Amino acid sequence: MSFKFVLVLISVVGLAACSGTAGYLAPPADERLVPEITTEGTKFFILQRDYLRPDQGRGAASMDRTRGRDDDLLMGERYIEQRLTLIMERTAYCREGFFELYREQTLNSFSVRGECREDATEADRERFSSGPIPL
């Protein structure tokens, strides 16, 4: 009897854990990867997301009515590590992985600055010297 109880408890906890994130959708944004390669060969990057927001010229009363939506934006970057990993795989900018240096978020944008775990090759310098990569 207790084995069935444990099995049911594990199932319920598993379903509850999965259901909390199923409906999440990141806020719409213009997104780009900004590569930076130093003369020594260190590869840095910034993932920049500029939120696509309605008119910014709202009054105080209007801000109170939409405060919930603004708070959602502050919590809007839940899966950034997975997103960065996917971007690095797709662009091949950080082939051996990366680590995050810092994050910055405002109501208008979100950015992550990081460093690749490998030095730049000559091919990297040629391929990533043209500026930001739209995503």
- pLDDT confidence bin for 24, thresholds 50/70/90: low
- According to DSSP, residue 95 is labeled T
Cα(47)–Cα(113) distance, integer angstroms: 7
- For the domain spanning 25-52+72-121, the CATH number is 3.30.1360
Cα(89)–Cα(93) distance, integer angstroms: 8
Cα(98)–Cα(84) distance, integer angstroms: 9
Mean pLDDT score, 3-29: 56
Pairing of strands 133-134, 109-116: unpaired
- State whether the Cα torsion 47-50-52-54 is positive or negative: positive
Mean pLDDT score, 25-50: 93
- pTM value is 0.67
Q: What is the pLDDT of residue 22?
A: 54
Region of residue 88 (left: phi > 0; alpha: psi -120 to 50; beta: else): alpha
Q: pLDDT, tens digit, for every residue of 59-112?
A: 444 444 444 444 444 445 678 889 999 999 999 999 999 999 999 998 899 999
Q: What SS3 state is found at 126?
A: helix
Q: What is the pLDDT of residue 115?
A: 98
Instruction: Please state the domain extents for the chain.
Output: 25-52+72-121
Q: Which residue has the higher pLDDT, 106 or 35?
A: 35
Token match 């259901």: residue?
Answer: 19
